Structure 1
Amino acid sequence: MKKLLGIILGSFTIGAIYLSYNYITFDSKQLDFRKIENNSSYDEAVVHLSEAIQIQTISYDDHIDTTEFYKFIDFVKDVYPHTFQKTSHQLLGGLSMLFTWQGSDPSLKPIILMSHYDVVPVPEGNLPKWKQPPFEGKIVDGFIWGRGAIDDKVGVIGILEAIEGMIKNGYQPKRTIYLSFGHDEEVMGNNGAKQIAHFLKQKGVKAEFVLDEGGYLTDGLVPGMEKQVALIGTTEKGFVTLELSTEIEGGHASMPKKETAVDVIAKALVAVHDNPFPSHISKPLNDFIEHVGPEMPFALKTVFANSNLLEPVLMAVYEKGPSSNALVRTTVAPTIVEAGVKNNVLPTQARAVLNIRILPGETVESVTSAIKNTLNDDRIKIQILERSNPPAVSNPKHPAYKMLDQSIREVFGEVVVSPYIMIAASDSRYFTGISENVLRFCPFTLNKENIKSFHGINEKIGVEEFKNSIQFYERVIKNAEEL
């Protein structure tokens, strides 16, 4: 008995030493840069974003009003004359804008700043819920209201304001700067950013880095963190849209068969729900752990420092919320279910559509195969409607990432900066063949309130936050010169 007790105590001691050692050596990866005060007013820029929101560049699934898109292009020409004078510019894919600001040193790799100016529709039934009209760009209570305020006319206008101001002040970049503004990001970007990326690739462009939307300055969104955390997307989840369909003999509803087409699809959805993809620590999540973990309170820092040993504990924490759960597993969401045309007729056909967001390390093929195995029903036909594998993961140790880290701190001050996995899809995925450093960051704050306004109700951005975004893009352009 004493021997057993000794073994237990010895094992406990060794375990405690191991955990303590990992905690002590879990060093901070935060850089030391100070906030740079900016005396620029940017008051006209606020009006320009308001005006941009008023132009209804809406991407519907099956059509767009090209008049509004051309109106936006004309607006950009009118408001940013110096940018048009100093850059070459062209339309690709019909309505997407590509600007080239030629650098003075052709030996340096160019950089690419991206955004998109299309927005999602506002359902008519939601209009009464908006505190301010979605397409009037009203400036009320210190906010600029309307569709596109944070997704993503703030990016387009923020970049253009920075460029216009720098040109006015006589700035000449060493590196060539490309500006890519897509017109169809909300509907896959096939005619916009994809065409721009193809054009640049055909020209042989190899960029030092690409910066698109995606990461954010977060407040209260990272479990366990009291400080604000600036999340830089070093990759994003892939996606596949699967249609599940079945066809079974129907009949009169008064004589239901043992199993109908509806039953088959319903059971399939239950099977998918009850068999989620496993949660685990992927490569980009491990990068997140290494950057955020050392800044955590004692208990969570201990877990993060020993994530290889305490992975189940860490997964339990992150599986609690929808946004954090999406960081640790491939997710499946049924979005469409269809069957039947009359209440007394058994439908012969039924279908469901699954929206699957794929964690880096998995593929469209592996995920589709897993769903097929889960269903294990030959009566169900599986068809891929849309697909995109997860893009490569950018290296947070690369100077381009560190430059972006520096730029964030120079504008927002003492925040925690960390790489992370963007859980949605962006136009940047088309640019991985142009640069190994594809980064994603939007220079404004997301919290538990305004995160709901993405594609939702009462989208708005603070006036001061928008002004900070302009300063941020100025810092990125200037700091990129030193890479």
Structure 2
Amino acid sequence: MEHVQNWKSCGISHGNDALASSCQQVDALYPSKHASFWSELGDIIGTDDFKTKAISWLSGAVQIPTESFDSMDDIGVDPRWEAFGPFHDYLLKSYPLTHASLSLKKVNTWGLLYEWTGSDSTLKPIVLAAHQDVVPVDPNTVDDWIHPPYSGYFDGELIWGRGSSDDKSGLIGIMSTIETLLEKDFKPSRTVILAFGFDEEASGVYGAAALGKAMLEIYGENAFAFLIDEGGGFTDQYGTIFATPGIAEKGYIDVKVDVASPGGHSSIPPPHTSIGILSALLVEFEEHPYVPKLSKEDVLYSTLQCYTAHGTNVPKRLRRAMEHSAHSDWALRALEKILFKEAFFKSLVETTQAVDLIHGGVKSNALPEQAYAVVNHRISTLSSVAETQDHDIATVRKLAHKFNLTFAAFGESITEAGAPSKGSLTLSDAFGTALEPAPRTPLYGDEAVPWRLLSGTIKSTYNAHRSITGNDNIAVSPGMSTGNTDTKFYWNLTPHIFRYNHKNSGYGPNRLSGVHTVNENVNIDAFLEMIRFFTTLILNADEYDL
């Protein structure tokens, strides 16, 4: 086995000298032991015959609706789960070598856990993850689609349909890679695990939750060299192409704000009904949002270090603020002011809140005895569930006193129990799904070998697909999205979790389009590049120490 240490600190890309050391770039990493085999596979991926096969694989998968919905009943009770049966049949038919050579365990009926057993049991396996389900298509929008949402139509450039990008391109890309490697008689040294959930779009509580538990029982804690799941891709930022694998995720909590007060006939109303009180509370929430403050510990700060170090067209004001922020709090605040003009950057840093659900009343002439709302929070990576709960308690405490409400929050009494009141206010975890921010993937030192292997693989894939050479065609930066993935159930399997799809996510004709909305599609060339990426990743992981 070659050692990653031979290349891990080589090839630092040229960039701003003051910042380059904080965003070091490795050289493109190509398979060494498997060099000729990798080259042969690359030639195959570039053929028209393989392109035709890849179109058929992905188009066929898109044609099978696998929608997941919020608040589905248990498996075996809710018939909508049965939609995954035809998809499993499709995978079995489309990838015969994969199903003949890999073991398959079905977890919680519809979860798929494949094992491609390697020849060297001393090597930690890798996990390639994706999800089978797709966001439902709103029936009212079907006529807005250029091509029917489950047609899998190929127009010569794009494959159209729900799931073509999110996330059947990832799942089918993985399966197509395995099948192609098997067609060429490849036998891995390092075991490869495939984990495919089936309700990621509905929080993963049946799919990835069960898969995570199963992998923990079978393989043990911290058993894997790394795990890669869906996530950000690559895009043009400040004149340079940057790939931004996700190395962290925000936390999450839905807070139920529940007001109860005496009912009665609406012809004799009190000054404030439950609905009126709830309305005042929600206004208080929106008038007192969390105050974001950029920290040098934020993932966004690390991303900006890379943008500034390796971007060729960074605005002078941003570059100057970034350079000085390393040793000046004033410059850090100036940087914050620049960034927070964009809602997306601001949302990456702050704990957000959004009033998403509300309910109250049953009849126009009856006083509502109860009214409630649900406030969704995405918790800053530098905060916690407890801090979020404390903030919400402080936000509404004065109003609870004003309206003379007994106040309880998250299982504890805030006001004196048994004191006279005109009703009650209760804050609670609405669905029992509170989640702490994810542990951060190591990026520096000896612990960061998987990160460097991934970075080098991204660069070599990008180069090979465009028949170019060099180490500066694409830069790799730590990144983060605003949402959560199935990886929230995989934290104890490995500290090396990457959320990354090797796809163009923001520039030129091959960029992603229509995710979670009408006209979802994927460019066939982008899909072929994904297959090339998974091929290179498996071969690199097979021959380097991790």
TM-score higher than 0.5: yes
Aligned equivalent of 1:382: 427
- Residue 26 of structure 1 aligns with an amino acid whose one-letter code is L
The alignment-based identity, stated in percent, is: 28
Q: 1:240 to 1:451 in 2, by over 3 A?
A: farther
Aligned equivalent of 2:416: none
1:263 aligned residue (276, 289, 301): 276
What pairs with 1:115-126 in structure 2 (closer than 5 Å)? 115-126=130-141
Aligned equivalent of 2:56: 47
Aligned equivalent of 1:211: 228
Shift of 1:208: 0.4
Contact 1:180/1:196 (8 A) holds in 2: yes
1:274 aligned residue (277, 283, 287): 287
- Residue 444 of structure 1 aligns with an amino acid whose one-letter code is K
Q: 1:451 to 1:164 in 2, by over 3 A?
A: closer
Shift of 1:438: 0.7
Aligned equivalent of 2:26: 31
- Residue 516 of structure 2 aligns with an amino acid whose one-letter code is H
Contact 1:23/1:306 (8 A) holds in 2: no
- Residue 243 of structure 1 aligns with an amino acid whose one-letter code is K
Confirm or deny that 1:373 pairs with 2:394. yes
- Residue 324 of structure 2 aligns with an amino acid whose one-letter code is N
1:446 aligned residue (496, 505, 518): 505
Shift of 1:270: 2.0
Task: Calculate the TM-score normalised by the size of structure 1.
Answer: 0.89
Aligned partners of 1:271, 1:448: CA distance in 2, in Å? 40
- Residue 234 of structure 1 aligns with an amino acid whose one-letter code is I
What pairs with 1:352-367 in structure 2 (closer than 5 Å)? 352-367=373-388
Task: Calculate the TM-score normalised by the size of structure 2.
Answer: 0.79
Shift of 1:320: 2.7
Unaligned runs of 5+ in 1: 1-21
Confirm or deny that 1:395 pairs with 2:390. no
Shift of 1:244: 0.8
| Deviation larger for 390-399 or 442-451 | 442-451
Across the two proteins, how many residue pairs are aligned to each other? 458
Shift of 1:250: 4.6
Confirm or deny that 1:323 pairs with 2:344. yes
Confirm or deny that 1:305 pairs with 2:316. no
| Deviation larger for 303-312 or 173-182 | 303-312
Shift of 1:241: 1.0
Aligned partners of 1:203, 1:58: CA distance in 2, in Å? 29
Contact 1:333/1:356 (8 A) holds in 2: yes
Contact 1:23/1:301 (8 A) holds in 2: no
- Residue 363 of structure 1 aligns with an amino acid whose one-letter code is S
Unaligned runs of 5+ in 2: 1-14, 31-37, 73-77, 401-406, 408-423, 464-472
Q: 1:23 to 1:144 in 2, by over 3 A?
A: closer
Contact 2:512/2:521 (8 A) holds in 1: no
Q: 1:126 to 1:322 in 2, by over 3 A?
A: farther
1:244 aligned residue (257, 274, 286): 257
Q: 1:196 to 1:358 in 2, by over 3 A?
A: same
Aligned partners of 1:132, 1:361: CA distance in 2, in Å? 43
Shift of 1:254: 6.0
Confirm or deny that 1:334 pairs with 2:379. no
Aligned partners of 2:317, 2:341: CA distance in 1, in Å? 17
| Deviation larger for 329-338 or 190-199 | 190-199
Secondary structure of the structure 1 residue equivalent to 2:130: strand
Aligned partners of 1:162, 1:473: CA distance in 2, in Å? 6
What pairs with 1:124-203 in structure 2 (closer than 5 Å)? 124-140=139-155, 142-203=157-218
Deviations 1:123-153 (A, max 9, x none): 1112122222111111125111111111111
| Deviation larger for 72-81 or 401-410 | 401-410
Aligned equivalent of 1:437: 496
Aligned partners of 1:77, 1:181: CA distance in 2, in Å? 14
Shift of 1:271: 1.9
Aligned partners of 1:263, 1:130: CA distance in 2, in Å? 41
Aligned equivalent of 1:473: 534
Aligned equivalent of 2:412: none
Aligned partners of 1:406, 1:381: CA distance in 2, in Å? 51
Deviations 1:142-185 (A, max 9, x none): 11111111111111100000111011112121110000011121
RMSD: 2.3
